[in-house]
Structure 1
């Protein structure tokens, strides 16, 4: 079996919640993309098609330096996210999502933690991301999860446009080496 088909239990989350690496073509990804498109259209009054098709699906595969993760509960997707290679040392988070029926349960934080672990595992040391100015809950999630805003947080978000963030990650400890906390 490949890593894409073997569920990995998520410690500290709801029992029965697992994470899987999947290709964008996996049918379980469709609810993520459908809800993202609807959410973007509702918030920004324009088609989300351009944003959701900006990057080829291959960029979210290991061969191109990325991955797409889904959190599954009883086999159904409840949250997910992806990253792609931004540059040689940086991964860019994209498509971080929690199903509307499962929000306010800490799943987005779990998605971030899982993505960050994967980013470190494949060798990136920095994460870059942007979120829209009409997504205050995403902005707050990144601010409270240790991401540094690369914009003036006192400015009107609408005057900025996409809100950029970054987070520097520690190198993984080598076997037998303790990591400072």
Structure 2
């Protein structure tokens, strides 16, 4: 998979973001209403990535600055046709690598119980449950995870 840095409002990023929003509608009944702004995913305060297989956008994910030297992952998504091929794991690794290169010491994220594949990915990638945060932090379905990034 080729992973490219793109603007959050790049057409491929927008397409994948719209698809992940529809995935949230299918699973939870509504889109993720967490406030996000294009500028939050632009260096140096953030980054947005799109993964391509044979020139076709199949995965996305971004990070934005969070408190305490951390970054928050947002809009991790893999299209259905590319699932089960290690694409999400590769995207997660690149998000972590770029966040660490930008000076982040920790990664945090919020997901939900109706995304068991995401939870399994994070747990198998050394993420641990952390106190709830964000717009959905008080919902029973919400799960928040964090991971300290290795320092050289």
- TM-score normalised according to structure 1 size: 0.76
Within the candidate set 71, 83, 93, 1:103 is matched to: 83
| Whole-angstrom distance in 1 between the partners of 2:128 and 2:16 | 26
1:57 counterpart = 2:10 = no
Within the candidate set 68, 88, 99, 2:48 is matched to: 68
> 1:66·1:82 contact (CA, 8 Å) conserved in 2?
yes
Question: Structure 1 runs of 4+ off > 4 angstroms?
Answer: none
**How many pairs does the alignment contain?**
145
- TM-score normalised according to structure 2 size: 0.89
Q: Deviations over 1:98-156 (max 9, x none)?
A: 011110101000011000100110000101101012111111110111101126xxxxx
| Whole-angstrom distance in 2 between the partners of 1:73 and 1:102 | 9
| Whole-angstrom distance in 1 between the partners of 2:144 and 2:68 | 19
The residue number in structure 1 matching 2:108 is 128
Within the candidate set 31, 44, 50, 2:28 is matched to: 44
Long gaps (5+) in structure 1: 1-16, 152-158, 174-181
Structure index of larger Rg: 1
The residue number in structure 2 matching 1:22 is 6
Q: Secondary structure at the match of 1:59?
A: helix
Flag the structure with more relative contact order, 1 or 2, with Cα contacts below 8 A and sequence separation at least 6: 2
Provide the aligned C-alpha RMSD in A: 1.5
